[in-house]
Amino acid sequence: MRPGTKRIGRWALTLLLIMAVPELHAQSDVATYREELAKRDRQIAELRQRYEDLERRVSQFEVAALDALASSQASDALPQDVLPEAADRLQSDDPTEQNRLIRSAFENTLIDRGGLLLPAWSYNLEPSLIYIHSSSENIVIDGFTIFPILIIGDIVSEKLTRDINILNLTFRLGLPWDSQAEIRIPYGHQKLRTASANGEQRELNDNGLGDIELTFAHQLYKSAGKWPDVVANLRWKSITGANPFTAPEGDIFVGTGYHATSLSFNAVKVIDPVVYFAGLGYTHNNRTAEEIGNFDPGDSWGFNLGMAIALNLNNSLSFAYDQQFTKKSRLDGESIPSSHSSTGVFSIGTSFLITDHFTVDFSLGIGVTEDSPDLLLRTSFPLRGSF
């Protein structure tokens, strides 16, 4: 081969190699780029997995914290050693059961005021103790008057203090068709003390069975929407206790001596955790024929307003005002002077639920009119059950 031909071949080979080098470099860059993409995808997937794990752990932590908080609140509001059965039911998703538990804190207040009835064939046995204190200043004239401003005789100031203790035993029975029967048996002790300005003192005591009462209640309307529950109560009072007509001279008494029938309507509206109640009633006091003549005690009517607040599942606080107006009494058709009265009592009470079936109630009443007792203290221990 000629030297010129060899030289041309070498140049051609060199040119081919120069042209192939960029292509080899391009293929190497593509492979590297693909490896980088794959590496980035793996990092993104790893970060995404870490984020999902972190989010799941945060959610678990929040749920655990909320459960712990709910358990803490439930234990604070309803100690397990006090009402374990109620605590178990509180975890239920049934809103009716939860509302029942909330209302149980003030149920007895409503039952006692005639605004709530017991379920059929369940009963309520309630012993209660009531203390009543009243005092008044009397002006006694030992002589006679010629004119309203001219008095012949002595004027004596006399202070009268009366303390009454009444032990009531009340039994209530729930009946079908939204009804309820009740019997109340009172036993009372009364102490009357008088002290005159001249230093004379006198004290009288008496105790014995009071006037037994019977009551029938029926629910006229069940709450729907904004309207309240309405319950009608028909009460009859007997004359089983000692009274002023039969008591020996100088004795005091714990009975009235005449029958009485009263009809009242009570409305209750529950807006958890508050319940509002109100009542309106009229009492007819029967006439009685006694040795002193035909005695006609005046009829009376009254109303009450109040509210109860459920502080928690165990406790409630109640406020109430009771007003009563009594007409003048008559003897043989003639009005007895100053025999009419207007009594008003403001009371505050609390109720503590020991178990689902046992409650302790306490209330303090303060008289706000001259005819009202100065102080009323009431403690009761209702026990509930069913047949």
Over the stretch 33-51, which tens digit does the pLDDT of each residue have?
677 777 777 777 777 777 6
Q: Is the pLDDT of residue 1 over 60?
A: no
- The label of the residue with tokens 């100065």 reads 374
**Average confidence (pLDDT) over 297-306:** 93
Average pLDDT, whole number, for the chain? 77
DSSP 152-185: EEEEEEEEEEEEEEEEEEEEEEEETTTEEEEEEE
DSSP 374: S
Per-residue b or e along 187-217, where b marks 16 or more CB atoms closer than 10 Å to that residue's CB: ebebebebeeeeeeeeeeebebebbbbebeb
Cα distance between residue 185 and residue 258, in whole Å = 16
pLDDT at 28 over 70: no
Q: pLDDT (tens digit, 9 = 90+) per residue, 93-137? A: 454 554 555 566 677 777 877 778 889 999 999 999 999 998 877
CA distance 125 to 361: 13
Residue 140 vs residue 18, higher pLDDT: 18
Question: What residues are paired with 187 via a beta bridge?
Answer: 167, 209
**Which of 84 and 230 is assigned the larger pLDDT?**
230
* Nearest one of 109, 99, 170 to 352, comparing CA atoms: 109
Q: What is the mean pLDDT of residues 299-305?
A: 95
pLDDT value at residue 105: 64
Q: What is the pLDDT of residue 88?
A: 47
Output the CA torsion 54→55→56→60 (10° steps): 100
Fold category of 95-386 in CATH = Porin (2.40.160)
Spatial contact of 172 and 184, defined as CB atoms under 8 Å apart: no
Whether the bond between 273 and the residue before it is cis, its omega within 30 degrees of 0, is: yes
73-98 per-position pLDDT tens digit: 444 443 444 344 444 444 444 545 54
- Predicted pLDDT of residue 273: 78
Residues 138-178 pLDDT 10s: 654 444 434 444 434 444 567 788 899 999 999 999 999 99
Can you say whether residue 208 is alpha, beta or left, with left for phi > 0 and alpha for psi between -120 and 50 degrees? left
pLDDT at 32 > cutoff 50: yes
Q: Average pLDDT of 202-210?
A: 84
pLDDT band at residue 230, thresholds of 50, 70 and 90? very high
Domain ranges (residues) in the chain: 1-77, 95-386
| Whole-number pLDDT of residue 17 | 57
Question: Is residue 226 predicted with pLDDT exceeding 70?
Answer: yes
Q: How do residues 328-364 score in pLDDT, each as one tens digit?
A: 888 888 888 878 889 999 999 999 888 878 899 999 9
CA distance linking residue 384 with residue 354, whole number of Å:
12
What is the torsion angle, in degrees rounded to the nearest 10, for the CA atoms of residue 368, residue 371, residue 377 and residue 379?
A: -110
Task: Return the pLDDT at 173.
Answer: 95
Q: Give 206's Cβ-side CA count (13 Å radius).
A: 20
Instruction: Single out the residue of 302, 297, 161, 323 nearest to residue 239, CA to CA.
Output: 297
DSSP state of 335: E
- pLDDT tens for each residue of 248-267: 665 667 788 889 999 999 99
Task: Reply yes or no on whether the pLDDT at 186 is more than 90.
Answer: yes
pLDDT score for 190: 86
In the predicted model, is pLDDT for residue 319 greater than 90?
yes
Q: Which residue has the higher pLDDT, 347 or 243?
A: 347
Beta strands in 97-240 (DSSP E): 122-147, 150-175, 179-196, 201-209, 213-221, 229-237
Q: Centre a 10 Å sphere on the Cβ of residue 303 and count the other Cβ atoms it contains.
A: 14
**Model pTM greater than 0.95?**
no
